[in-house]
Amino acid sequence: MDIASSYRLKSHPFRDSNGRTGRLLMNLLLLKAGFPIVTISNEKRQAYIESLVQARISQDDLTGLLNLVCEAAHESLVETLSVVASAADSRGKGLAFYGEMTAFLELKSAETDSI
């Protein structure tokens, strides 16, 4: 996270897309660590910006930013589990698309296991 923070706060050379680039890098690091992709909702945008400003002012205090990212990761995990649970509940209810998707995923999983 320190690398991403330093990149986001110090060295990105472009005037536009700083936030998108920083969040993309943040999500890459989260995925590599086994966490889901997170989104910063519009409701939390101001808190996100304030946490970035605080991190810029005090390079040693990333607490606000880390708390915000952890909360977003938690929300993303809950949402993912909700989707998985509702998909499991849909099994056997005649949803052809769900059946096609689960068959496809099982096939790809078996192919990956055999490699």
Say which of 7, 12, 21, 47 is annotated catalytic: 12
Copy the structure tokens of residue 104: 């496809």
DSSP per position, 76-101: HHHHHHHHHHHHHHHTTS--HHHHHH
DSSP tag of 37: P
DSSP-based helix, strand, coil % in the chain, nearest 5: 75, 0, 25
Is 12 among the catalytic positions? yes
Quick check: 91 and 102 in contact, CB under 8 A?
yes
**Active-site residue set:** 12
